[in-house]
Structure 1
């Protein structure tokens, strides 16, 4: 059954919420009186369609239906989730939340994107709402801070995990929640460093992105400092560096006055730093970098990588066909080269993913490998037939050419969404006893499953390109 989400307020954050739900198969209804709301959300969606699928090695669900409405009651009708992202004015939020509470279904989660207001402030006039504070870009970054009634937060957390997000339920309400309080501390200190002429905006950004920002992406603050304590761990770190907290290093409790001179100084330095790029270009650069880093984190399951892995594990596999679909995914930006198309090594990587998926289909899965058996690749032959670009969807079908004894001889066809055959990969594998590192027969169960596919494919035409050497044309 398709879920429906209602988005009230279609700015940067509301548009990000719309994209996150829509690209995970939800229908999305938007209410925003701004006549430019549709254009703004379409631009956010264009970035999301380019970036979010690139995080995954499985295809995301088919997009839901996006609609725009001029009536709030119509917008929220039938919605399982209603997300408010209007400007940060409490009287406006009270008005909107009251309308939503009266109109929404009894079981709907009503979330506010507020970065500063507490649930007790939002519900003061009887609204049934929790804080569901995300981070920009909402369609990529998984964190959502939840604050409010425990039963509502529990229900919200379940739905958020289904769309690939990481809900963090905060134990006690507090102004600005957790993450923004940390950001505010860095922001305050940075303003003083610029005002006092210690550093420019660009130099401060370099200090973050060249140093601790990279550590924080995978380990956060406390795990980073635990390592800094060496073999003695966190206790040693606290004993060694704790006294520094009494030194007058920061001005966290003092804020420089926002004079026109300070605003002009910071704005001028920021323009010099990145004014040569449009906001859309900066967003795409940000998204490409985030995708690259989060895909790297997937390999170890650290940080956001673990959230993506868990979400992907729950995505449905394609239905088996006569030729089973073993890969259905989108090409990430990080796989392209200086020519702008997918690098040749990643054609092989896609075929390896197809082989791994086929091994799972015949029972040679992770548990089987852990028990001591696997198939090792002996030889590959790739034919590059068409360019693949970032954002292209590629589907792989796998044909079994031989499944007798220790052999597994496969033929993968890489096909673009428009039906163009982009590549073929012929691969020969041998079953191996991992302990001895020598070839050995597969288990009876795996051999039987492989034989079933081999027999089903025996009457298919011989694929074009099988058995060719380099330079030959089939």
Structure 2
């Protein structure tokens, strides 16, 4: 498997919270990354961000990632960018510093390299001043954590070429990000404009003792924050307008904008007293959790939201979840066809981890998630024999008509899972299969599932023989698996006592 993106080599100048997030996003897409950051602890900081990113990706997707790119720390900007195809600048938000660093990048980078800036508000035209090749500089403004939140605002300056914008968008899309092109440059772009307005009002509410920071966060996370995560602002308000939609909403609530509710045009005085007030309330809200602990909690919550959104719309996904589903499909395609799988042993078809969203009130993986993993294993078998999404879209598929699932042990949060498939028998309409699920470093067996699949004509709504092109891929596996020992538990009935040999 190779990297997903149209690029294979990146350079990150600056390895802090944002720069380290870019490093992780590139590396986990299979892209080699060179880093320059003069901070004496840059390697430790990047390593910690990368560790969190790998943990989050292990929970996020069951689709194998490409081999991780190579990470190299360099002694200078010139060394880091010398052979890069994409250079991401993430130095502190000072125009003079960014101009100096970007000029150094521009002088040392290959002529066709893309140069993105992580600035959260500076105009790209101002950053282009004095560069020899300003046409390749653009803003790629991400959101923290870069390795999980997929958005990057792409903003071109006056000298940025259309080809640069198109290349940047393609490269971001390929690594699971949503490259949103902003039509005109404006200070703080779109996302930070919205955040700044909310932040300004929030500071006044704290200063005026309307609420404390935890109450304010509760108002967001228990209400409109959940709506925004999947529909944004305008589509949420369209629904609020009822059957008459957005026009009715604007007519009904538009006059409220004239009322003197907010202080959006007034700047709060962040004096020492207010800073201490907010700091003390924030300390109390954190309840002793470290920043790294809060980051891991944040990542687990984001993973759960993304996975829930991926399951929306009948499995097609919605919002960022749809983007995740599309990214996983590219991962599968980039892995190539699985003809190289050893068919003389049970097929290793799925590797994943126990997600935070999969944990029940007992603290281990809940029942229906076992069926989900076994369903993913069946899907992997069908892709292996050619009954993939294109085949289904052509009007034929295999339907699961019987399942017998056994729970043998507990699987816990974050544990690695590995599922295998053994074919018990095959005919022109049916596939009889037996899955086994193993967990943890010791590969203990935690569940099995026996299934009968039936080939159907989905348009006619009836069973039909599978075509020879499918059977030709299926029969060699079935023949090889016929030489294997019958798996313990195959053919069991619900409640049947286990034999002494199996105890």
TM-score between the two structures when normalised by the length of structure 1: 0.92
The within-5 A match list for 1:129-140 is 129-140=137-148
How far 1:396 sits from its partner (Å)?
2.7
Q: Which residue of 1 aligns with 2:477?
A: 453
Is the contact between residue 19 and residue 90 of structure 2 (CA under 8 Å) also seen in structure 1?
yes
Query: How many residue pairs get matched?
Result: 472
Q: Which residue of 2 aligns with 1:319?
A: 338
Within 1, Cα distance between the matches of 2:80 and 2:486? 54
Are 1:221 and 2:221 an aligned pair? no
Q: Which residue of 2 aligns with 1:179?
A: 191
Within 1, Cα distance between the matches of 2:24 and 2:176? 12
Task: Pick which of 256-265 and 397-406 moved more.
Answer: 397-406
Gap regions ≥5 residues in structure 1: none
The within-5 A match list for 1:117-266 is 117-126=122-131, 128=134, 129-148=137-156, 149=160, 150-266=162-278
Within 1, Cα distance between the matches of 2:69 and 2:397? 42
The Cα offsets for residues 95-137 of structure 1, whole Å up to 9 and x where unpaired, read as: 1101111111122111111001011110012164211110000
Within 1, Cα distance between the matches of 2:362 and 2:10? 40
Within 2, Cα distance between the matches of 1:118 and 1:460? 65
Within 2, Cα distance between the matches of 1:37 and 1:369? 49
Q: Which residue of 2 aligns with 1:82?
A: 87
How far 1:306 sits from its partner (Å)?
1.3
Choose the corresponding residue for 2:353, options 330, 334, 340: 330
Is the contact between residue 83 and residue 110 of structure 2 (CA under 8 Å) also seen in structure 1?
yes
How far 1:241 sits from its partner (Å)?
1.0
Gap regions ≥5 residues in structure 2: none
In structure 2, do the counterparts of structure 1 residues 105 and 436 end up closer, same or farther at CA, with 3 Å as the change threshold? closer
Is the contact between residue 396 and residue 455 of structure 2 (CA under 8 Å) also seen in structure 1?
no
| Secondary structure, aligned partner of 1:114 | coil
Is the contact between residue 400 and residue 451 of structure 2 (CA under 8 Å) also seen in structure 1?
no
Q: Which residue of 2 aligns with 1:444?
A: 467
Is the contact between residue 88 and residue 117 of structure 2 (CA under 8 Å) also seen in structure 1?
yes
Is the contact between residue 297 and residue 306 of structure 1 (CA under 8 Å) also seen in structure 2?
yes
Task: Pick which of 130-139 and 156-165 moved more.
Answer: 156-165
The within-5 A match list for 1:308-457 is 308-315=324-331, 316-317=334-335, 319-320=338-339, 321-323=341-343, 324-337=347-360, 341-366=364-389, 369=392, 371=395, 373-382=397-406, 384=408, 388-415=411-438, 420-423=443-446, 424-431=448-455, 440-445=463-468, 446-457=470-481
Within 1, Cα distance between the matches of 2:412 and 2:199? 38
| Secondary structure, aligned partner of 2:450 | strand
Is the contact between residue 164 and residue 307 of structure 1 (CA under 8 Å) also seen in structure 2?
yes
In structure 2, do the counterparts of structure 1 residues 368 and 5 end up closer, same or farther at CA, with 3 Å as the change threshold? closer
How far 1:174 sits from its partner (Å)?
0.1
The Cα offsets for residues 364-389 of structure 1, whole Å up to 9 and x where unpaired, read as: 4445556365322313243636x544
Choose the corresponding residue for 1:306, options 310, 316, 322: 322
How far 1:231 sits from its partner (Å)?
0.5
| Secondary structure, aligned partner of 1:291 | helix
Within 1, Cα distance between the matches of 2:320 and 2:31? 22
Are 1:467 and 2:491 an aligned pair? yes
Q: Which residue of 2 aligns with 1:23?
A: 28
Task: Pick which of 83-92 and 455-464 moved more.
Answer: 455-464
| Secondary structure, aligned partner of 1:314 | helix
CA RMSD of aligned residues (A): 2.4
The Cα offsets for residues 53-85 of structure 1, whole Å up to 9 and x where unpaired, read as: 322231111211112122221111211111111
Task: Pick which of 187-196 and 409-418 moved more.
Answer: 409-418
The Cα offsets for residues 156-186 of structure 1, whole Å up to 9 and x where unpaired, read as: 1111112111001110000001000000000
Within 1, Cα distance between the matches of 2:184 and 2:104? 27
Task: Pick which of 238-247 and 367-376 moved more.
Answer: 367-376
Task: Pick which of 414-423 and 342-351 moved more.
Answer: 414-423
Is the contact between residue 376 and residue 432 of structure 1 (CA under 8 Å) also seen in structure 2?
no
Within 2, Cα distance between the matches of 1:283 and 1:468? 45
Q: Which residue of 1 aligns with 2:63?
A: 58
Within 1, Cα distance between the matches of 2:442 and 2:271? 60
TM-score between the two structures when normalised by the length of structure 2: 0.87
How far 1:216 sits from its partner (Å)?
0.5
